[in-house]
Amino acid sequence: MFARNRVATSEIVWRYGVPCLNIHRSLFDEVVRRGTAQAGAAAIDMVLYAELTSLRRFTAWLGTVRDVPGVPLVRRAVALSVEGVESPQESRLRFAWMFGAGLPEPLCNMDVHSTSGAFLARPDLFSPELGLIGEYDGEVHSGAAARGHDHTRVDRLRDHGLEVVSVVGGQLDEREVVKRLRAAARRAQRSQVERDWVLHGPNGPRPPLDWRIDARLSWLSSKRRELQLRDMPGPM
């Protein structure tokens, strides 16, 4: 069933002579279509990963929406979304991590280095408090060679005081994943291995998404910047 809602003129952009909804209204409608906060948050996560907008911009735009069904649902989805998730399955794993296993909210796709500066990993999910890593590996990791490489990588991380939970594509059964996450968190807390790692490494963290978007806008001509701002309206 499809619902017809009013669309503001400001929400329409033109692409190759075709009228389209801008990024924010399109994302709003997709979250509403999905029907749940977690599924909607996964959609938001992917738009952020594509750097089509930022949480700050989308939230500011959402504050201007009036008399459109679905606003409470979209607000709940925004509250669950984060910048840094790189796949829908990572979003699902993150929800299992926080709401199923009750673990601290993880960092997403942050570089981890040894204290000597060597790169160790860029884990999908990472809890610095626990020294716990969560990884969603696609089906490509199911082959023997890939599994051997993954085992070597896990051993290296454990040698540096990090516990790892890997979920291979097609195995994201939440109850089983929650059990594995809780068991890994207990192992991490009991571990006697010295924590030989630091976040980010010698180059520091990546600039935040808002900074990257604002920098990209500043490089555009005034005409192209105006077009971009129509597509993702928000504070500068």
- The closest alpha carbon to 47, from 235, 213, 214, belongs to 213
Report the pLDDT value the prediction gives residue 148, as an integer from 0 to 100: 45
**Which whole number is the average pLDDT over 28-56?**
97
Report the pLDDT value the prediction gives residue 122, as an integer from 0 to 100: 93
Q: Does the pLDDT at position 223 exceed 70?
A: yes
Both tokens of 191, joined, read 């571990």
Cα 104 from Cα 95, distance rounded (Å): 11
Report the pLDDT value the prediction gives residue 147, as an integer from 0 to 100: 52
Question: pTM of the predicted model, to two decimals?
Answer: 0.88
Long-range contacts, 147-150 (Cβ 8 Å, 24+): none
Report the pLDDT value the prediction gives residue 234, as an integer from 0 to 100: 80
For the segment 97-123, what is each residue's pLDDT rounded down to a tens digit?
Answer: 999 999 999 999 999 999 998 999 999
Percentage of residues of the chain with pLDDT beyond 90: 74
* Bigger pLDDT: 148 vs 177: 177
